Structure 1
Amino acid sequence: MNRCAWLLLFLLGGCSHADADHTVLEQAHAGPLEFSVLGEGELRSTRPTPLLVPGKQWSSRQLNWMLPDGSTVEKGELVARFSADQSKQDLLEAQIDLQRNALARAGKQAELDDKNGQLDVDLIQVAAQHAIAARYANASLDAMARNDILDAVQDVHYLDVRQRILQWREDQSASRGAAELAVLDAQRNSFETLAKQKQADLEALELRAPHAGVLVLERDWSDQVPHVGGSLYAGNTFASLPDLAALEVQLSVPQIEAQGIRVGDVVQLHRWGIPAQTASSRVSWIASAAQPRSRDNPVKYLSLKTTLPADVARRYGWIPGQRFVGKIILLQAQGYSVPNMALSHDDGHDSVQVLAGNEVRTKRLKLGVRGATRTQVLDGLRSGDRILLAGKAGEAK
C-alpha cells in the first residue's frame, strides 16, 4: 500500500541476540504515500421508475415473454406479456356463484311471497269472522238467547288475539325475509366485485414502458432476475426504467479493509473487466454498520455510495446493472508511514520500537490516516530510524 517508503527488510546481523530472536527491521524514509482500498458494486439510478407486474391484489401471473435486460425502450413499447390461468379459473367460479346466488334469491323471494300470501288470506278470513262475531256480540237479549250472545263475545276475544298474532307473524316474516334477502344481496355484491377484479386481471396482462429508457430487470431475494415461465405476483416490481441523468455506484468493501473511509474520499471507478474506461468521483454516503452479504458467508462488508457523472456514463455507454470496481483513495501525501504490526498503544499513546545501535528504544508517534496494512506518521519519526517489526525486543541490546 505504501509506494514511497523504502522497505529494507533484513536480519540484524551485528547482534547475536537479534539473530537468535529473528528480529525484523524496516528503515524509515519519507516519500510519497498512497493508501487505498478496493470495492465492487453495481451501477444504479437514484431516480428509477418502477415497473410493476400488472394486476391487483397479488394475483398470480406467469411470464410468457419479455425484453432482454438492458434493452433500450421507447414510450409505450411492450416490455413483457403475462398469462393468468388462475384468474380465469377464479372468474369462472365467480360467475357460477353469481348464477347460484340469483337462483337462491329467486327461490327465497318466492317462498316469502307464498308465506305472505297465506298470511294475507288468514287475516282476511279472521277479519270477516271478527265482523260477524262483533255484530252478534252486541245483539239484544230479545233477539238471541243468552248463551249465543256469550259465545259471540268469546269469539270476538279469540279473533282479536288471532288477528294480532297473524299481524305479528306478518311483520316478523317481512323483517326476516328482508334480512335473508340482504344476506343474498351482499353475497351477490361480493361475487360481482370478485368477478370484476378477475376480469380486470385478465385485461391487464401486458406491461408497457411509461417513458423511454433502459430496461433494468429487478432481482429477487436470491439475486435472480425474472425469466420466461416464472411465476410472479401482481404489484411486485418487475423492472425499472432508470433516470440516466442521476447515477450512482454502490460499492461493498470488506470490513477489515474499510477502516478510515470517510465521506468525500476520492473514488476511481472503472467497469469490471474494462480498466481503460475510468471515472473519478467521491464517496457521498457510508453505511452506519457493516453487514454480511449472504447467510452462507459470515464476512461483513461496508456499503458506500459514490455518484457518477452523467456525461461520463453517456460517453462510455454505461447503463444501470453493470458491475464496477472502485478504488477508494484514503491518503495521497508526502511523509512517513509504519506497518500496522509495528504499532503499540499504551496509556493513550501510539508508539513504535526502534533500534539505536544494539539498544531498543520506544518512540511516541502522532498518527494520521490508518490504512489496511500501514498508517501515516505525522510526527515522531526521523529518516533512517530502524523500526522493530517482530521479535523479542525486550532481549535485544
Structure 2
Amino acid sequence: MKRPVIVAIACVALALAGWMLLQSRRGPLLAGYQVQARPLVQTVVATGRVVAVSRAQVGSPVTGVVVERRVREGDVVAPGDVLAVLRADDLEAAVREAEAALAQLRQSTRPQAQAAQREAEARLAQASREVTRRRELFKRQLIARETLEQAVQAEAVARSTAEQARLAASALGAGNPNEAAARARVASARALLAKTTIRAEVAGTVLTRNAEPGDLVQPGRVLFEIARAGATEVLVPLDEKNLEVLAVGQPAMCIADAYPARPFPATVGFIAPSVDPQRGSVDVRLTVSPVPGFLRQDMTVSVNVETGRRARAIVAPNDAISALEGNRATVWRVAGGRVERREVTLGLRGLTQTEITDGLEAGDWILADAQAVVEDGDRVRVAASALPGGAADSATRKELPAKLD
C-alpha cells in the first residue's frame, strides 16, 4: 500500500475518533420539547343521555276496565286531554240516584213541607180566633170555664204543630243543611264518575303507555308516563375525580350519536350533592337551550364540558412530567447542554398535556421522557420533537362510557 493512502486512512480514523470523543463529551442524543405559550382549553369528555326536567306518571284513582285508549307513545298532550276512559256503569247510576234525591227534595219534599207549614199556621189562626170568641162568651157567662179551657188547649196544640211545620220547612229551604248535604252527595258521585276519564294534568309528550282496552286497572298502577314540556337536560354520570374541575355554569358542547353533524350547546346546570358508591360517579345535568327539534328522550349524547380556558399558557406534554404530588411535579430541563431536575407548578391538567404555571418559561427545553436515565448536570443533546396538538390545543379529561340507569 502506498504511503499517501496509509496517511489518508490514518487521518480519517483520527478525525472519526476525535468526532466520537467530542460527541461523547456532549452527551447522548435525547428527544425533547421546546416549551411554548399557546391557547389552552381543558375539557371533560363523557357520554350521557337526554332526559326531561321531570316526568309525570299517570294512573287511575279508581278500579275499572279500560274501554278506550286515546293516546300512544310520542303524542303531545295538553292539560285536560283525555288519555283513557274506564267503564263506569255503576258510578253513572250513583250519580243519577244522587241527582234524583236532590230533585225530590226540591220538587216534592220541600213543597210538601211548605204546604204543611201553611196548613198548620191556618189552624193556629183558627184556634186563636176560637179562643178570643170563647173568652167573650165566658165574660158574659154564656159558656162554662171548661169550654174556654178546651179552646185554649186546642190553641196551644195548634201553635206547637205550626212551630214544628215551620222548622221542617226551614230545614228543607234553599241553602239549608239538608239541601247542602244532597248537593254534596251529587258532587261526590260526579267527582267519582269523572275519575273514570283519565286526563293529562301537565303538558308534554307521552313516553310510555301501559293500558289497552279491556285491561283491568287499579289505583297505584302507572298507565302513562309523560315528559313535561319545557326545558330539556342531558344527564351525564362523570367520574368523581373530575369534581375538582366542575362548576355550575360551565359551557358544554353536545353531539347526539344519531346526528353527529349537528352539535348543540349546553350549560352545566346541576351537580349532584352525592356520589354513587357503586359506580364512583356523580350525576351532572346539562341544560339545553334552545332545544334542537331532533332530540328524543333517552337519546345517547357525547358531551365535552369546558372546565378551563387560558388565552396563553405554558404547556408541557404529560410524558415529560413526573413525581406528581398535588399541583407540584418535576421535569428534566435542558440548559447549556446539561440537564437539571426542575420543580414546576401545575395548572389545567388533561390526558395528554398540562399547564405549567411556575418553573418554566416559553423557549425552555425539556426532555420528552420524564424517566430518562440521566442525572443532574449530565451533558445531553436534544432532538426536537413537536408538541402534540395545534396552535390552540386542548387538555382533555376522558370518561369511559358509563352505564346509564
Q: So what's the TM-score if we normalise by structure 2?
A: 0.54
Give the residue type in structure 2 aligned to 1:92. Answer: A
The superposition leaves residues 232-278 of structure 1 with CA deviations (integer Å, 9 ceiling, x where unpaired) of: 99xx98546968xxx8552313243344245454424132xx4x723
Computed over aligned residues only, the root mean square deviation of the Cα atoms, in angstroms, reads 5.5
Question: Which whole-Å CA distance do the structure 1 matches of 2:280 and 2:73 have between them?
Answer: 31
Instruction: Work out whether residues 116 and 165 of structure 2, in 8 Å CA contact, stay in contact via their aligned partners in 1.
Output: no
Q: 2:184 aligns with which of 167, 187, 190?
A: 190
- The structure with the largest alpha-carbon Rg is 2
The superposition leaves residues 18-69 of structure 1 with CA deviations (integer Å, 9 ceiling, x where unpaired) of: xxxxxxxxx98758977433333344689x9x99979xx9677848446653
Question: Which whole-Å CA distance do the structure 1 matches of 2:280 and 2:129 have between them?
Answer: 91
The superposition leaves residues 265-293 of structure 1 with CA deviations (integer Å, 9 ceiling, x where unpaired) of: 4424132xx4x723344442431544568
Instruction: Work out whether residues 290 and 303 of structure 1, in 8 Å CA contact, stay in contact via their aligned partners in 2.
Output: no
- Show the counterpart of 1:336: 316
Q: 1:167 aligns with which of 144, 153, 159?
A: 159
> 1:179 deviation in Å?
1.3
Question: Which whole-Å CA distance do the structure 1 matches of 2:67 and 2:349 have between them?
Answer: 51
Q: How does 1:68-217 map to 2 (within 5 A)?
A: 68-70=72-74, 82-85=84-87, 87-102=88-103, 106=108, 110=112, 113=115, 117=119, 120-121=122-123, 124-125=126-127, 127-128=129-130, 130-139=131-140, 144=141, 152=145, 159=151, 163=155, 166-167=158-159, 169-180=161-172, 182-194=176-188, 197=191, 216-217=205-206
Q: 2:328 aligns with which of 342, 348, 351?
A: 351
Give the residue type in structure 2 aligned to 1:174. Answer: R
- Show the counterpart of 1:324: 301
Instruction: Work out whether residues 260 and 370 of structure 1, in 8 Å CA contact, stay in contact via their aligned partners in 2.
Output: no
Question: Which whole-Å CA distance do the structure 2 matches of 1:298 and 1:180 have between them?
Answer: 71
Question: Which whole-Å CA distance do the structure 2 matches of 1:114 and 1:248 have between them?
Answer: 69
Instruction: Work out whether residues 315 and 353 of structure 2, in 8 Å CA contact, stay in contact via their aligned partners in 1.
Output: no
Instruction: Work out whether residues 56 and 226 of structure 2, in 8 Å CA contact, stay in contact via their aligned partners in 1.
Output: yes
- Show the counterpart of 1:391: none
Q: 1:303 aligns with which of 261, 285, 299?
A: 285
Question: Which whole-Å CA distance do the structure 1 matches of 2:356 and 2:192 have between them?
Answer: 71
> 1:174 deviation in Å?
0.6
> 1:216 deviation in Å?
3.6
Instruction: Work out whether residues 368 and 376 of structure 1, in 8 Å CA contact, stay in contact via their aligned partners in 2.
Output: yes
Question: Which whole-Å CA distance do the structure 1 matches of 2:210 and 2:112 have between them?
Answer: 55
> 1:138 deviation in Å?
2.6
> 1:97 deviation in Å?
2.8
> 1:168 deviation in Å?
5.3
Instruction: Work out whether residues 267 and 326 of structure 1, in 8 Å CA contact, stay in contact via their aligned partners in 2.
Output: yes
Instruction: Work out whether residues 250 and 306 of structure 1, in 8 Å CA contact, stay in contact via their aligned partners in 2.
Output: yes
Question: Which whole-Å CA distance do the structure 1 matches of 2:237 and 2:296 have between them?
Answer: 22
Q: How does 1:272-287 map to 2 (within 5 A)?
A: 274=258, 277-287=260-270
Q: Unaligned stretches of 5+ in structure 1? A: 1-26, 219-224, 389-397
Per the alignment, in what secondary structure is the counterpart of residue 284 of structure 2? strand
Per the alignment, in what secondary structure is the counterpart of residue 245 of structure 2? coil
Q: So what's the TM-score if we normalise by structure 1?
A: 0.54
Question: Which whole-Å CA distance do the structure 1 matches of 2:43 and 2:113 have between them?
Answer: 87
> 1:122 deviation in Å?
5.9
Q: Unaligned stretches of 5+ in structure 2? A: 1-31, 334-338, 372-405
- Seen in structure 2, the aligned counterparts of structure 1 residues 187 and 306 have a Cα distance that, compared at 3 Å, is closer
Q: How does 1:43-54 map to 2 (within 5 A)?
A: 43=50
> 1:178 deviation in Å?
1.7
Give the residue type in structure 2 aligned to 1:301. Answer: D
Question: Which whole-Å CA distance do the structure 2 matches of 1:206 and 1:302 have between them?
Answer: 33
- Seen in structure 2, the aligned counterparts of structure 1 residues 298 and 265 have a Cα distance that, compared at 3 Å, is closer
- Seen in structure 2, the aligned counterparts of structure 1 residues 228 and 217 have a Cα distance that, compared at 3 Å, is same
- Seen in structure 2, the aligned counterparts of structure 1 residues 83 and 337 have a Cα distance that, compared at 3 Å, is same
- Show the counterpart of 2:253: 267
Per the alignment, in what secondary structure is the counterpart of residue 261 of structure 2? strand
Give the residue type in structure 2 aligned to 1:305. Answer: T
Give the residue type in structure 2 aligned to 1:40. Answer: T
Question: Which whole-Å CA distance do the structure 1 matches of 2:147 and 2:350 have between them?
Answer: 113
Question: Which whole-Å CA distance do the structure 2 matches of 1:176 and 1:372 have between them?
Answer: 90
- Seen in structure 2, the aligned counterparts of structure 1 residues 162 and 374 have a Cα distance that, compared at 3 Å, is farther
- Show the counterpart of 1:384: 367
Question: Which whole-Å CA distance do the structure 1 matches of 2:165 and 2:351 have between them?
Answer: 87
> 1:362 deviation in Å?
7.7
1:256 equivalenced with 2:237 (yes/no): no
- Seen in structure 2, the aligned counterparts of structure 1 residues 386 and 260 have a Cα distance that, compared at 3 Å, is same
1:226 equivalenced with 2:209 (yes/no): yes
- Seen in structure 2, the aligned counterparts of structure 1 residues 51 and 329 have a Cα distance that, compared at 3 Å, is closer
